A and B are shown apart, each in its own frame.
Chain A
Amino acid sequence: GENVEQHPSTLSVQEGDSAVIKCTYSDSASNYFPWYKQELGKGPQLIIDIRSNVGEKKDQRIAVTLNKTAKHFSLHITETQPEDSAVYFCAASIDIAGGTSYGKLTFGQGTILTVHP
């Protein structure tokens, strides 16, 4: 089955700096890669996602890049703010219309991001 590795496990940055979190996946059939943010005591919330037919996607201060050949994808947060402090998870799934994978996600281990004011 799919295996997703995420690094680093903890990341500490100063406010205004950039933060990068990296994930690798094992199943070349995976084609959907979401990133979730989990605040303390809450459920994960989708912040950005990318499909395998796209190399990069941006949403304001957040961007995700995908390298299908190397089977890795990364989350980039620019101009970090204290409210960005949270646990971030990457995930991968095989999502094909009419397929039988049903969007089952395999998650990475998570990265605790701390942004110091």
Chain B
Amino acid sequence: NAGVTQTPKFRILKIGQSMTLQCAQDMNHNYMYWYRQDPGMGLKLIYYSVGAGITDKGEVPNGYNVSRSTTEDFPLRLELAAPSQTSVYFCASRKGLAGFSYEQYFGPGTRLTVT
């Protein structure tokens, strides 16, 4: 298993540009999450999904959108990038069903700079 994969690893955007951060998992996990990590801070939840076609907002959703058309993929869309969105973005997944481990598995992250 590759686990949780994220592309790209690095990206520089100009203010006002848009982009999609890709996330995929091959563990047949139901739950998927997007977090952002600002320097010296913990991770904050942007959006999450509990299954294909079901998404919901986390703590810091403004400026982002998500979709979940398959169990495997959970892309994060940035519209009209702003300097405040400069951060490291992590995707995570877990099985999500009762009786399974609660562990969230994280991808390697995407470092995004908006200038």
Contact = CB atoms under 8 A, between A and B. Distances in A.
A52 to B, nearest CB: 12
Contacts of B56: 102
A44 B31 contact: no
A81 interface: no
Interface residues of B, number: 29
| Interface size class of chain A, counting residues whose CB lies under 8 Å from the partner chain | 20 to 34
A109 B45 contact: no
Interface in B12-55: 31, 33, 35, 40-45, 48, 50
B43 A107 contact: yes
Nearest to B9: A41
A34 B103 contact: yes
Interface of B: 4, 31, 33, 35, 40-45, 48, 50, 56, 58-59, 90, 92, 94, 96, 98-99, 102-109
Interface of A: 1, 4, 6, 9, 32, 34, 36, 41-46, 49, 89, 91, 93, 95, 97-98, 102-110
